[in-house]
Each structure stands twice: as structure tokens, then as C-alpha cells.
Amino acid sequence: MAKKFKFKLDGLLKVREFKEKRIKVELGEILKDIEQTKANIDKAKLDIEECYKAQEAFLNEPAGASMVQFFPQFIEAKTEDYKAQENILYSLQRKYEEKRRELAEAKGDVKVIENLKEKNKTAFEKSTEKKRQEAIDELMQAKRHREKLL
């Protein structure tokens, strides 16, 4: 039976591939968080706009002082929430870019090992084929030698 190709760095290759997959999962989670934060920002903007409209409608009617104070406080709270969400979004985007760099590095590591594996496999196949051809040539010489003797 022919000898099978065995790459000594297969374990390392699997570890690097696992790291690459883990980084991809983390990137997906970060993207999900970014989208959620953008949705929160849009909701905060919408809430602020609706509050201004409600305040205008409310001020056209006679109202108590406590209700008049509610609107500025609510708008201020929503504005603070909006600013906090903007900061979170900026932080997530920086984190996303950092993970993209990590992913590029991990892909490079995997590619280097895969190229080395392919190079070693090609060399192994050439060596195996050369040995096979030498054995065939040897058998052919032995056959010719026997035919000369007969």
C-alpha cells in the first residue's frame, strides 16, 4: 500500500482556521450590535421629533405647569440617550475595524500554512511518482535481462 501524505502542521492549521472562524463570529456580533445601536439612535431622534410636535400641540391648549416642564426634561433625557448611543456606535465601529484587521491577519496565517501544506504535498507526490517510476524502470530492465537470457 502506498504511503499517505501526512502534514505535520495540520494541528496548527486547524487551530488557525478555528481562530479565523471565531473572529468571523465576533465580527457578526459586532455588526449586529452596530445595527441595534443605529436603530436606537433612529428611535431617539424620532422620539425627540415627536416630543417637539406634542409640545407644540400641547402648548396651543391650556395646560398645567407640571406638564409644561415635562417636555424639556424628556427632550433632554432623549438627547442624552442619543449622545450615549452615538458614543457606543463610535466605539463599536472602532472595535469592528480592529476585528477586521485581526481577521485579515488570521486569514494570512491560514493562507501561509495552506500554501506550505500544498507545497509539501506536491513535493511528496513528485517523490512518490519518482519512486514508482524507478520501480517500473527496474522491473522493465529485469524483464529485458530475462528476455536476453532466453
Mean of pLDDT values over 2-21: 91
Handedness of CA 99, 105, 108, 109 (dihedral sign): negative
Q: What is the mean pLDDT of the chain?
A: 90
What does the radius of gyration of the chain's CA atoms come to, in whole angstroms? 35
- Give the model confidence (pLDDT) of 34-91 as tens digits: 999 999 999 999 998 998 888 887 777 776 666 667 778 888 998 999 999 999 999 9
**Chain centroid offset of residue 109 CA:** 14
> Percent of the chain scored above 70 by pLDDT?
94
- Ordered by start, the domain boundaries in the chain are 10-149
Amino acid symbol at 106: A
Give the global pTM: 0.74
Query: How far is 64 from 66, CA to CA, in rounded Å?
Result: 6
Residue 56: CB atoms within 10 Å: 10
Handedness of CA 65, 66, 71, 72 (dihedral sign): positive
Q: What is the CATH number of domain 10-149?
A: 1.10.287.1700
Comparison of pLDDT for 61 and 99, the residue scoring more: 99
**Does position 2 have pLDDT exceeding 80, yes or no?**
no
The three three-digit cell numbers of residue 130, written as one number: 519518482
pLDDT at residue 118, as a whole number: 96
Residue 38: which H helix or E strand, with range? helix 10-59
Buried b (16+ CB within 10 A) or exposed e, 2-33: eeeeebeeeeebeebbebbeebeeebeebeeb
